[in-house]
Structure 1
Amino acid sequence: MRDPPAPNPAAVRVSAPDAADACDLPSDLHLARQAVRDEAAFEMLVRRHAAGVHRLAAGMVGPGAADDVVQEVFIAVHRGLKGFRGEAAFSTWLHRIALNACHKAIRGKGPPTVSLGDAPEPAAPHNPVHAGEQADLRARLAAALQTLPADQREAVSLRELSGLDYAEIAAITGAELGTVKSRINRGRAALRAYLTGQGITP
């Protein structure tokens, strides 16, 4: 039996599973083991995690480059599934790959730039004024993250954008738990100062 074909990068969509079905979904570990041979299981993993990876990438490299990073991440995940033994949580393994992809993008393209044109469109832009305000806020938040030192931006993004707890972040980054907490606290303080200077109340 041949390995399933690698995923088409253009087919990686940033979406999430229906909340009503969440209780019936198989675990990440179960899907990861199935996905070695079953493309449908891999697609389920993509649907489950693509939105979170996109949020992380947007915070790390800027919204304009986030789609490319998401594609790279899931191509790498697909290639690496045979070697995933489940010794760490799938989410931890996935976020390590995502951080590596973000760092690669930063090295390859230099400091990311953020403009209003890069900001993702709101889901339901019925009110043009509100839509413009939301796009402006997203762009300012993305710009604020880019002002942080790399280690703080990484920790804050994993905490605030990916919703990971401190222990998970420590496992992903290889930093001590106290170091992770310190980086997040310093990063949050710097973000508050930056946003306040921009006339935004955090």
Structure 2
Amino acid sequence: MRTGDAAAYAELVRAHAGPALRAARLFGAGADAEDVVQESLVKAYRALGRFRQGAPFRPWLLRIVANETRNLVRSRGRRGATEAAAARPESVIDPAASAADRARRAELLSAIAALPERHRQVVTCRYLLDLDERETATVLGWPRGTVKSRLSRALKTLRAELAEDAHVC
């Protein structure tokens, strides 16, 4: 694959495009998620020579997606063309779930969306993209200790927010 074998790369794209799109949406790309993924895939292809042989492809690609999404969100802020809600992750809700499950999931996604970016990113990687600690550290470009501490703080904040919402209702 490192030599630029287009067929091998196409197979990787087919295998990882779905998770990359989900990651872009969850990181805040919103309606621009498909563009972010396309740009990320092009950048990944151009950077194949720097891909470490034997390393997992998915975290490497998702790191590119996270960086591209971050750049998009920053440029939105500089342009002032969108409101903060436009940068929030889109809800990904299972239509077969019961109304109570859908409401709880929407509440959880809303609470995640309200987290500071660094906390939202680590929760997204670990729980919504189902990456392990090492993969999360790779995607976000952080040391594993930082992943652990930020995840702990994010979960504490989420628990408090969700408990507060439960008492308000």
TM-score normalised to the size of structure 1?
0.63
- Residue aligned with 2:131, SS: coil
Structure 1 vs Structure 2 CA RMSD? 3.2
Residues matched between the structures, number: 160
> Quick check: 2:40–2:64 contact (8 Å CA) kept in 1?
yes
Which residue in the other structure is 1:154 paired with? 121
1:93 is matched with which residue: 57, 60, 77?
60
Which residue in the other structure is 2:34 paired with? 67
Which residue in the other structure is 1:45 paired with? 12
> Quick check: 1:64–1:119 contact (8 Å CA) kept in 2?
no
> Quick check: 1:166–1:177 contact (8 Å CA) kept in 2?
yes
Q: CA deviation at 1:131?
A: 7.8
Q: Which runs of 5+ in 2 are unaligned?
A: 78-82
1:180 is matched with which residue: 147, 157, 169?
147
> CA 1:42–1:87 in 2, change beyond 3 Å: closer, same or farther?
closer
1:171 maps to amino acid: T
Q: Which has the larger radius of gyration?
A: 1
Instruction: Give me the whole-angstrom Cα distance separating, in 1, the residues matched to 2:162 and 2:86.
Output: 15
2:136 maps to amino acid: I
- Residue aligned with 2:14, SS: helix
2:23 is matched with which residue: 38, 56, 59?
56
> CA 1:174–1:85 in 2, change beyond 3 Å: closer, same or farther?
closer
Which residue in the other structure is 1:113 paired with? 85
> Quick check: 2:119–2:151 contact (8 Å CA) kept in 1?
yes
- Residue aligned with 2:2, SS: helix
Q: Which runs of 5+ in 1 are unaligned?
A: 1-31
> Quick check: 1:54–1:66 contact (8 Å CA) kept in 2?
yes
- Residue aligned with 1:33, SS: coil
Q: Deviations over 1:128-179 (max 9, x none)?
A: x958973x65554443223222221221111112212112223343433222
Percent identity at matched positions? 36
> Quick check: 1:61–1:112 contact (8 Å CA) kept in 2?
no
Instruction: Give me the whole-angstrom Cα distance separating, in 1, the residues matched to 2:136 and 2:93.
Output: 29
TM-score normalised to the size of structure 2?
0.73
Q: CA deviation at 1:93?
A: 1.8
Compare the two structures and name the one with the higher helix fraction.
Answer: 2
1:167 is matched with which residue: 120, 124, 134?
134
2:36 maps to amino acid: V
